[in-house]
Structure formats: C-alpha cells, structure tokens
Structure 1
Amino acid sequence: MPRLTRLTPDTAAGASRGLLADLVSRHGEIGDMVSTMAHSPAVLDGYLRLSRAMGRAKLDRRISERISIAVQVLQGCGLCLDAHMRAARALGVDEEEIERARAGTSADPATAAIVTLALQIYREPTSITDEQVTALREHGYSDRVIADVVGVVALNILTGAFNLLAGLTPENETGA
C-alpha cells in the first residue's frame, strides 16, 4: 500500500498545482510517481527538469535502458525496474540482453563497459580510473556520452528512491 497519497491539480498546493495541471493538459492521465511527487514542488520540478534534460542525452536509449535496469536491480525499485524492462523491450532489446543488464553486464563489450561505469557511479564513484575512461573512448564513446551516464544514474536514484519511500510498487500502480 502506498505510504504517500496521489495528488491531482485540484488537491495539490502551490507550484505543484500548476505543474500537475500542465502535465494533465499535455498528457492526460499521469502516473502514480509524478502525482505523488507533487507533495514536494521542488522534487517534482527537479524530476521533470532532469527527465526533460536527459531526453536530450546523446547516450543511445537502448544502452540507457540497460543502465537503468542494472541500477534498479541494485536499488530495488520494482516499479522502475518493470518500467525500464518494458522500455528496453519496446526499443528492441532482446530478453537475453535484459537478463544481462539485470546482472550488470552485456554481451557487447562496449555496452558492458558503460554499464560497469554506471554501476560504479552508483556504488563507488571514487573507484573510476583514468584507464577506464580511456577504454570507454576507445569503444567509441564521446566525453558527452560518458558524462550523460551520470545523469541517467542520478535520474534512476531519484525515481527509485522516491518510489521506495512512497511505497509505490507495480502491484499498486494505478496510472501510466
């Protein structure tokens, strides 16, 4: 059972009222996470801005989704994990690669290397080495793409931690 209630444009206060009203007018129904984030206008606005910004990332979405899967396995947010596995499938990532992402790797050495980087950013960013970044460049990743990984991890930490705090699970999700 959720720990925090969903808000609507009618029940939200302050800046959250306007943010939710805008989202509803543009997208129709909004999901549990977003409507629950509205308890904190700062969190909701920060999530929306980071999410939009990461939409402009140069990191391939199929790789980004595998990173998200790997991070959410560690973080333990079932709602996020389910969403990212569905997104990966929709992008054509096969079941074997999804299972590899759940294990924090990939059959492709370049993808495995960047997933490894993402997990280090999540677990222990001080362990990242110059040689590791050089190897990522040798796999063809630009500095911009390498930097994008931090944003993907940060967005996953925010959404997963929020969902866990709020008690949002796949079993009690009511919206898209």
Structure 2
Amino acid sequence: MSRLRLHTPESAPEASRPYLQRAQAANGFLPNLVASLANAPTALETYLTVAEINGRSGLSLAERETVQITAAAIHGCGFCVAGHTAVALKKAQLEPQLVESIRAQTPLSDPRLDAVAVFTRAVIATRGAVSDETLAAFHAAGFSDANALEVILGVSLATLCNFANNLAQNELNPELAAYRWAPQEQLA
C-alpha cells in the first residue's frame, strides 16, 4: 500500500486532473507513480513535462531507457525499473538478456548502450563531476557533449520519479507485474 494517497482523475487536486487524464489515456491505466505525484500538482507537471522534453533528446529510445533503468536500479526504485523494462522490451525492442544486464548493472553486449550505462553510473556516482577519462570514453563511443548533457537530463528525470516512488512506497501496478525487479541484495 502506498504511503501517499493515490489519486484518480476525480479525487485529485484540480490542477492535477488534466495530467492524470493524459497519463491514463497514454498508458491505458493510471500508473501509481502518477497517481501519487498528483498530490503535488507542480511535481506531477514537472515529471510529465521533463519526460516529454527528455523524449526529444538526441539519445535514441534504447539509450534513454538505458539511462532510466540504470538510474532506477542505482536508486533502488523497483517501480521505475519495472516500468522502464516494459518500455525497453515493448517499444525499444531491446533483447530480454540485454535488458536484464542493464537491470543487473553488468556489462552490456551492445557497446553503445554499455557506454551509456557506464556514463550514467559515473554521472550519478560523481554527481556529474566525471573524470576526463570517463567523458573521453563516452565521446569515443560516438556520443557528443550534447548527449552527455542529455544523460544528465535523463538522470534528473529518473531522480524525480525514483525518489517520489521511494518516498511513496508505491505498489507495482498489475500491468507492470511481469517486469518486477528488486535489488540483488534483497533477492536472497
């Protein structure tokens, strides 16, 4: 059970209602993340706006989902790992074993996506103050300075939704149950 109220379009603060309706229409269900963010209309608006902007970045969908899954796994957000796993498999058409490697934070068979995952982990670990060598390795994989900043954009989006889910302790929606994830140390 969520620690925060899960709103519906009918129960939400007036300012949140159009965002809930839009999210429900886009997903076919109302993700508990969105339902809990509705408690703070500005937080919900920020999440949906930044997600839309992130979708226009120069990174491919597969690269953006690699950032999202990597950040969510580091932040321990099972809800977001599950949600972005669904997107990675269904929309980005990534191979299941590749997605499992992203979730497990192990080296990826795709060198370009591996560079994204490694860079994302470095950005989070150093709060953006990556070493010259780390940035050079990201560039060597074919990425630009703009792409480096777009990884930071993706991390900022992930931080908002990961931390909101961790605060709310949102249950996974049934529509995402097949993609459930828990940090390795909690699996034993």
Match of 2:59 in 1: 59
Partners of 2:20 and 2:89 lie apart in 1 by: 29
**Identity %, equivalent residues:** 27
How has the CA–CA distance of structure 1 residues 97 and 20 changed in structure 2, closer, same or farther, with 3 Å as cutoff? closer
My pick for the range that moved more, 28-37 or 56-65, is 28-37
- CA shift, 1:97, in A, is 1.2
Secondary structure of the residue that 1:153 maps to in structure 2? helix
Deviations 1:38-86 (A, max 9, x none): 1101101110110110110111111221222222222111111111112
Matched ranges for 1:114-129 at <5 A: 114-125=116-127, 127-129=129-131
Deviations 1:6-58 (A, max 9, x none): 22333222422343355557776432211221110110111011011011011
How has the CA–CA distance of structure 1 residues 133 and 31 changed in structure 2, closer, same or farther, with 3 Å as cutoff? same
The answer (yes or no) to whether the contact 2:69–2:103 under 8 Å persists in 1 is yes
Match of 1:76 in 2: 76
Match of 1:12 in 2: 12
Partners of 2:158 and 2:133 lie apart in 1 by: 26
- CA shift, 1:126, in A, is 5.2
How has the CA–CA distance of structure 1 residues 132 and 22 changed in structure 2, closer, same or farther, with 3 Å as cutoff? closer
My pick for the range that moved more, 157-166 or 109-118, is 109-118
Deviations 1:84-123 (A, max 9, x none): 1121112221122122212333123332222111112222
Partners of 2:131 and 2:159 lie apart in 1 by: 22
How has the CA–CA distance of structure 1 residues 97 and 23 changed in structure 2, closer, same or farther, with 3 Å as cutoff? closer
Match of 1:108 in 2: 110
* Unaligned runs of at least 5 residues, structure 1: none
Partners of 2:18 and 2:77 lie apart in 1 by: 28
RMSD: 2.3
Q: Give the TM-score normalised by structure 1.
A: 0.85
Q: 1:143 aligned to 2:119?
A: no
How has the CA–CA distance of structure 1 residues 89 and 27 changed in structure 2, closer, same or farther, with 3 Å as cutoff? closer
How has the CA–CA distance of structure 1 residues 24 and 97 changed in structure 2, closer, same or farther, with 3 Å as cutoff? closer
Partners of 2:21 and 2:60 lie apart in 1 by: 31
Number of residue equivalences: 174
Q: Give the TM-score normalised by structure 2.
A: 0.80
My pick for the range that moved more, 13-22 or 90-99, is 13-22
* Unaligned runs of at least 5 residues, structure 2: 177-188
Partners of 1:41 and 1:145 lie apart in 2 by: 30
Partners of 1:69 and 1:28 lie apart in 2 by: 22
Partners of 1:119 and 1:156 lie apart in 2 by: 13
Match of 2:94 in 1: 93
Partners of 1:132 and 1:123 lie apart in 2 by: 12
Secondary structure of the residue that 2:3 maps to in structure 1? coil
